[in-house]
Structure 1
Amino acid sequence: MARVMDNRPADGKTNFSTSYIREQPLQVSSAPVGEIPPAFADLNQSIRDLFTKNYHIGFAKVDIKTVTANGVQIRGIGQQDIGSEAPRAFGSLEHKYVQRSYGLTLIERWSTDNMVTMEASVEDKFLAGAKATFLAGLSAQTGKRNAALKFAYKRPFIHLTTDVDLDFAGPVVRSSAVSSYNGVRIGGNVVVDTAKSAITRYNLALGMGGPRYTLHAGTTHFRDFEMGVYNRVDPNLEVGFQSNFSTTGGNTLLALGAKYDIDPTASVKAKLDTVGQLGVSYTQELRKGVKLTLSTLINGANLSGGGHRYGFGLEVDV
């Protein structure tokens, strides 16, 4: 709160004095310097979530999360195939510890296929916006080992990533770059197999993004193409469109999707494509931290012939 010294003379006229004292400094607001774009893999995240998230098709999944008293985050996942001739069960357990003062994150994962993975990352300590991650995995059943290094650098207008699989036969390098300005984003991704001394994959993408919409177009080898549109019509309704086609032939796939929040605890999703598949998903919060999702995929091209699939998911956050 400001305190002004009153130096007005007795006649009431204003004395233009410089005696103006503030007990606290003026608050100066800084204008944003620019958008930090998402990584290349996340350029169409909102579109992908609309068509894939909470669609548990063909399996039942239980996802449990909790945090211990000393801040260790624990996550357990159990998954069982439904309706397949050779159903497979899978489970994993993850421990995550974050030391924010050092920018350090440690993650340990163990899965029922006897795969143990360790991950350590450091962020924003050596360089602002930079993150370095080391991963190491061991298969207790086969004895196979793998390791990888990941680097990411993000600042306003640019996001760079490089992943290196440390294979003794020849590392595989994956690099990407995304630049953005005024909501317009352009990016590329390339995969280099050093054992073959060849580029095995490259992608390009162009799009626009904002708080309520996303436009995305991408290509792989200038042979396979994808396009997508996402729009949050209002706080309760999201709609989207996506298309995939290839110059080498095959059917062009078009799909429409939507999500509607019935209330703060329930939402329903639906999607329909040109193949005749209709997907429906319903999510209900049973209580705080507990969500149940029921999903189905109906083969509309042959309603009486079967081929319909279903699944469910249970998320528990305690």
Structure 2
Amino acid sequence: MAPPIYCDLGMLARNLFKVGYHPGLWQLECKTLTSSGIEFFTSGFANQDASKVMGSLQSKYTIEDYGVTLTERWNTENLLYGQIMQREKLAEGLMLIAEASIQPSSGEKSAKLLADLGKEKFNILGKIGLNKGDPYIAGSLVLQHNEFLGGASVNYATSSENLEWKLALGYTNEQSTLHAELVNAEGWLVSLFHKANDKFDVGVEVGKPMATTNEQGEQVPSDWNLGVGMIYRLEGDALIRAKINNKVELGLGYQQKLREGITVSISTILDCQNITDGNHKFGVGLSLQC
């Protein structure tokens, strides 16, 4: 197998802190496949604080003979998105993508052309595009030798002359994945994922994001972050999630497969520094597939 693309490095640990948590939201997802081979995916979110409802509708159709996948998406903010992907037919390991989006109400447009080539020891990706009218050029390279991974990524916005670069090193085997990343010599991240057994996964993340810019254009230093997350799989297609960070924010989640194609999940984020008056959040998700 080819190594992953750069943005997927460290994904196993990252998912322990993101996937399955939807604080402050009521979430519904529906996925179905028609007899003609068109896949429909519908999602809806209701924000408990702002009483705002959002949703999206996506359709996907694959033409197997040509290795082409057509995707289109629309959401309640009237964002229109389309993608054409071609995989493996022109050359082994080659993926080509063209995508574009437009929001008629604001006139904002985005477009991207992407080429990715994955072989046994490397994965190289090139990308050019427009992001809200700002042209950019991006690329990444990931190399693999046995269990060791190394990668580099650059993104250059031509009009604003903003250059962002990243370097990563990692080690992975069947049980553990270690990932370290440096961003513009300012931000950094180290993560560890370990699969203790078939039921229990645990991960640790520690890092310091890059400084942000406030409305006055001033650089605001960021604080370092530390988090520990886990998943424990119960009997009967159920699992428990938990995470905690250095701000003593405790995340808890429970997911249960009720029957084939129906999965329900509940999650909460608790502010343990202020139990009585803290900003606690609760969320519920329902996933339907047929």
Q: Using structure 1 for the length normalisation, give the TM-score.
A: 0.84
Instruction: Write out per-residue CA displacement over residues 237-291 of structure 1, whole angstroms, 9 at most, x where no aligned residue.
Output: 0011110126875433211111100114100010111111100000001111110
Given residue 138 of structure 2, which amino acid in structure 1 is its aligned partner?
R
Distance (whole Å) between structure 2 residues aligned to residue 162 and residue 247 of structure 1:
24
The residue correspondences of 1:145-224 to structure 2 (distance < 5 A) are 145-166=109-130, 171-196=135-160, 198-224=161-187
Given residue 307 of structure 1, which amino acid in structure 2 is its aligned partner?
N
How many Å apart are 1:58 and its aligned residue?
A: 1.5
- Is residue 53 of structure 2 the alignment partner of residue 78 of structure 1? no
Distance (whole Å) between structure 2 residues aligned to residue 170 and residue 300 of structure 1:
42
Q: Which has the higher strand share?
A: 2
Check whether the contact 1:149–1:166 (CA below 8 A) recurs between aligned residues: no
The residue correspondences of 1:62-141 to structure 2 (distance < 5 A) are 62-82=28-48, 84=49, 86-141=50-105
SS in structure 1 of the partner of residue 105 of structure 2: coil
Match of 2:267 among 295, 304, 308: 295
Given residue 80 of structure 1, which amino acid in structure 2 is its aligned partner?
A
SS in structure 1 of the partner of residue 273 of structure 2: helix
SS in structure 1 of the partner of residue 101 of structure 2: strand
- Is residue 20 of structure 2 the alignment partner of residue 48 of structure 1? no
Instruction: Call closer, same or farther: CA 1:287–1:247 in 2, change over 3 Å.
Output: closer
Check whether the contact 1:95–1:108 (CA below 8 A) recurs between aligned residues: yes
Instruction: Call closer, same or farther: CA 1:267–1:140 in 2, change over 3 Å.
Output: same
Distance (whole Å) between structure 2 residues aligned to residue 217 and residue 259 of structure 1:
22
Number of aligned pairs?
281
Check whether the contact 1:190–1:199 (CA below 8 A) recurs between aligned residues: no
How many Å apart are 1:143 and its aligned residue?
A: 3.6
SS in structure 1 of the partner of residue 31 of structure 2: strand
Distance (whole Å) between structure 2 residues aligned to residue 169 and residue 242 of structure 1:
35
Instruction: Call closer, same or farther: CA 1:89–1:270 in 2, change over 3 Å.
Output: same
Counterpart for residue 218 of structure 2: none
Instruction: Call closer, same or farther: CA 1:59–1:121 in 2, change over 3 Å.
Output: same
Counterpart for residue 25 of structure 1: none
Q: Using structure 2 for the length normalisation, give the TM-score.
A: 0.92
Instruction: Write out per-residue CA displacement over residues 164-216 of structure 1, whole angstroms, 9 at most, x where no aligned residue.
Output: 114696521121111111110000111111224x3521111111112221101
SS in structure 2 of the partner of residue 303 of structure 1: coil
The residue correspondences of 1:258-277 to structure 2 (distance < 5 A) are 258-277=230-249
How many Å apart are 1:316 and its aligned residue?
A: 0.6
Counterpart for residue 314 of structure 1: 286
Distance (whole Å) between structure 2 residues aligned to residue 246 and residue 317 of structure 1:
37
What stretches of structure 2 of length at least 5 have no aligned partner? Answer: 212-220
Counterpart for residue 214 of structure 2: none
What stretches of structure 1 of length at least 5 have no aligned partner? Answer: 1-34
SS in structure 1 of the partner of residue 151 of structure 2: strand
Instruction: Call closer, same or farther: CA 1:245–1:286 in 2, change over 3 Å.
Output: same
Structure 1 ranges of 4+ moved more than 6 A: none
SS in structure 2 of the partner of residue 312 of structure 1: strand
Instruction: Write out per-residue CA displacement over residues 113-159 of structure 1, whole angstroms, 9 at most, x where no aligned residue.
Output: 11111110111121211111111222232343332111111111111
Instruction: Call closer, same or farther: CA 1:144–1:246 in 2, change over 3 Å.
Output: closer
Distance (whole Å) between structure 2 residues aligned to residue 206 and residue 62 of structure 1:
37
Distance (whole Å) between structure 1 residues aligned to residue 16 and residue 108 of structure 2:
37
Counterpart for residue 6 of structure 1: none
Instruction: Call closer, same or farther: CA 1:166–1:256 in 2, change over 3 Å.
Output: closer
Structural RMSD (CA): 1.7
